[in-house]
Structure 1
Amino acid sequence: MGVTDMTRPRALPRTDRWLRPLGWASLVANCVLVVTGGAVRLTGSGLGCPTWPRCNGRSFTPHGAYDIHAAIEFGNRMLTFVLVAVAVATFVAAWQSGRRDLRRLALVLALGIPAQAVIGGITVLTDLNPWIVSFHLLCSLAIIGVAVLFLHRLDHPAPPAVAAGPVTGLAWATFAAAWVVLYVGTVVTGSGPHAGDVDSPRNGLDPLQLSQLHADVVFLFVGLTVGLLFALLATGGSPVARRAVVVLLALEVGQGAIGFVQYFTDLPIVLVGFHMLGAALISAAATWVLIEVREPA
């Protein structure tokens, strides 16, 4: 074998070449699911299909004299089949790669989709109980984080051990604060309008007090992110980690601006929809930051 043969990169198997596009497809599709789920709630279509798994008592699809709400809710349910197809293809490709870490993450992604479908069914059967709706959204946000980790693992297999330090601890605190912000945001939503149906219950908590609590934890989140950025600059953190923190900080500023404007303009549905997209991006960015700080290249 000559030198040219020894230095030539090995051609990736066909399944390996599909792993990255499938990983991105999983990430994007779950972000789209968050937005379309928000559209269902914001248009009052949460009970457009009043039963589950059927759309109504007789059929899995809306038919006959049905309105736009049934079409919107049914369309959101159909997105589940796209997610299933992507998840199955990702798992098959990960299995063929022979890497155990990719197989585990692909399995989590695959199992997350039917789990979400069941939670969605419980949401409908409980007439859009706000606490279950909150859990439904949080599960999607968690799946988005797993998809980010999957994409990272394609080029960076899991290290045998990760050295802990003050900067890593600060990254974990920032990640935890992100999830506190996301959770409190869902509770705020459960106390206000846009329940998904005019007859759906609210959680009974005071929207004003919850909004103040949400703002407080957002300030904490932003402060931790700024502190993490300065810590990386002071300790010579990797450029990728610093870039990830800057992206997260930019998303926080954008989310905060949308949040304040929507609060003082009586929650217009367009802004609320963008705020939900921002929540999905925050979940992805916070995961990216934690990964890059813990496992610098």
Structure 2
Amino acid sequence: MPEVSNRTLLRPLALASLTANIALVVTGAAVRLTGSGLGCPTWPRCTEESYTTTPEMGINGVIEFGNRVLGIVLGLIALACFVAALLERPRRTSLVVLALVAGLGIPGQGVIGGITVLTDLNPWVVGLHFLLSMALIAVTYALWKRTFEGDRPRRSLVPAPLPALARLTAVVSAAVLVLGVVVTGSGPHAGDENAKRNGLDPEAISQAHADAVFLLIGLSVALWFALRAVRAPGAAIRAAGLLVVVELAQGLIGFVQYFTHLPVLLVGAHMLGACLVWVATLNVLWRLRERPFHEPPAAPLPAEHPTTAPAPAPVA
């Protein structure tokens, strides 16, 4: 099949890029939760004299510097993805574009990270740092999934109303992430004891966040039932069911951390859970459509009936 190129290199690199972007969120949470946000008090250097941490900076310097190093590793993986996409034969424009966007997001993260340090951990800038990570997770997930697909036009696997319901669920999932960022900016874990908060009422913002979570779970359950009702492909039904399970687990962590006054380990688990909810949401969208490598074969034409009468039998 000439249209199916060898993706043994790009596919694992794309998965590594997706995984590293999730890991960057988790290590970024560790920076904030351990009060290491200014462990390296300058940028791009760690100190005025050194690009690396020093023994005098202690564990906070190590944690912050480790997060910066992971960002560099992520950039190298993104560069490798872009080169692998260029080397594909035949080259696929969609893969090259996705790899390029994922790569350009890395220096963007570095710039926002630098602004975060230079503004003494402004909560709105910190939130933007997180949301860019969510965008990069979406791009790298798309890059990874596209290595399993062809370039034929996208084809829906379910009736028309269901993709619309899935897109609405994704929009609400994104809104939950945004509200979670606002909640974080109003809470106690600022990344440094002297960092300012956004000044909003934590209880009111947390209630709005919880309301959005209930809406998201309701939409996800409705989507699961609807997919079962129309006998959608099993992969799509399982993806919707997995989304509901991940959301319920994330919601449980969220409620426990709120009523136990935000212990560090639970907040870190909630940050990881936010990434998993987002990936599960993207997985549902992907399972409702396909891009085949080839058009399905056309149905065979019916055999033509003979138009002439059979020859008469010979006379004895």
TM-score of the alignment, normalized to the shorter chain, above 0.5: yes
User: Which deviates more, 89-98 or 59-68?
Assistant: 59-68
1:76-116 Cα deviation digits (max 9, x unpaired): 00001110111111111111111111111111111111111
Opposite residue 203 of structure 2, the aligned amino acid is L
Match of 2:98 among 87, 96, 105: 105
Gaps of 5+ in 1: 1-6
Structure 1 segments, 4+ long, off by >6 Å, are none
CA deviation after TM superposition for structure 1 residue 161, in Å: 5.0
Q: Is the 8 A contact 2:149 2:291 kept in 1?
A: no
CA deviation after TM superposition for structure 1 residue 156, in Å: 1.5
Q: Is the 8 A contact 2:151 2:291 kept in 1?
A: no
Opposite residue 176 of structure 1, the aligned amino acid is V
CA deviation after TM superposition for structure 1 residue 172, in Å: 0.5
In the alignment, structure 1 residue 33 sits paired with structure 2 residue 24: yes
CA deviation after TM superposition for structure 1 residue 157, in Å: 2.9
Counterpart in 2 of 1:3? none
1:210-231 Cα deviation digits (max 9, x unpaired): 1111110000000010111111
Opposite residue 205 of structure 2, the aligned amino acid is L
In the alignment, structure 1 residue 57 sits paired with structure 2 residue 48: yes
Cα distance change on mapping 1:92 and 1:296 into 2, 3 Å: closer
In the alignment, structure 1 residue 120 sits paired with structure 2 residue 110: no
Separation (CA, whole Å) in 1 of partners of 2:116 and 2:94: 33
Q: Is the 8 A contact 1:128 1:195 kept in 2?
A: yes
Separation (CA, whole Å) in 2 of partners of 1:144 and 1:250: 20
Q: In terms of Rg, which structure is larger? A: 2
In the alignment, structure 1 residue 224 sits paired with structure 2 residue 219: yes
Separation (CA, whole Å) in 2 of partners of 1:253 and 1:276: 15
Separation (CA, whole Å) in 2 of partners of 1:35 and 1:138: 13
Root mean square deviation of aligned Cα: 1.8
The 3-state SS of whatever aligns with 1:199 is: coil
Q: Is the 8 A contact 2:246 2:277 kept in 1?
A: yes
Separation (CA, whole Å) in 2 of partners of 1:213 and 1:138: 18
Within-5 A mapping of 1:135-174: 135-161=128-154, 165-174=160-169
The sequence identity of aligned pairs, in percent, is 54
TM normalised by structure 1 equals: 0.92
Separation (CA, whole Å) in 1 of partners of 2:92 and 2:254: 42
CA deviation after TM superposition for structure 1 residue 294, in Å: 4.0
Opposite residue 77 of structure 2, the aligned amino acid is V
The 3-state SS of whatever aligns with 1:17 is: coil
Q: Is the 8 A contact 1:101 1:157 kept in 2?
A: no
Opposite residue 104 of structure 2, the aligned amino acid is L
Counterpart in 1 of 2:296? none
Separation (CA, whole Å) in 1 of partners of 2:4 and 2:145: 20
Provide the aligned length of Structure 1 versus Structure 2: 288
Counterpart in 1 of 2:303? none
Relative to its length, the structure with more helix (as a share) is 1
Separation (CA, whole Å) in 2 of partners of 1:156 and 1:296: 6
CA deviation after TM superposition for structure 1 residue 263, in Å: 0.3
Q: Is the 8 A contact 2:154 2:289 kept in 1?
A: no
Q: Is the 8 A contact 2:95 2:146 kept in 1?
A: yes
Gaps of 5+ in 2: 293-316
Separation (CA, whole Å) in 2 of partners of 1:200 and 1:206: 17
Match of 1:241 among 236, 242, 246: 236
Opposite residue 108 of structure 2, the aligned amino acid is A
Cα distance change on mapping 1:238 and 1:262 into 2, 3 Å: same
In the alignment, structure 1 residue 48 sits paired with structure 2 residue 39: yes
Separation (CA, whole Å) in 1 of partners of 2:151 and 2:49: 49
Cα distance change on mapping 1:207 and 1:290 into 2, 3 Å: same
Separation (CA, whole Å) in 2 of partners of 1:204 and 1:93: 46
Counterpart in 2 of 1:134? 127
Separation (CA, whole Å) in 2 of partners of 1:234 and 1:220: 21
The 3-state SS of whatever aligns with 1:65 is: helix
Separation (CA, whole Å) in 2 of partners of 1:55 and 1:252: 38
Separation (CA, whole Å) in 2 of partners of 1:10 and 1:227: 38
Match of 1:196 among 167, 191, 194: 191
Match of 1:95 among 81, 86, 93: 86
Opposite residue 56 of structure 2, the aligned amino acid is A
Q: Is the 8 A contact 1:149 1:288 kept in 2?
A: no
Match of 1:287 among 262, 270, 282: 282
TM normalised by structure 2 equals: 0.87
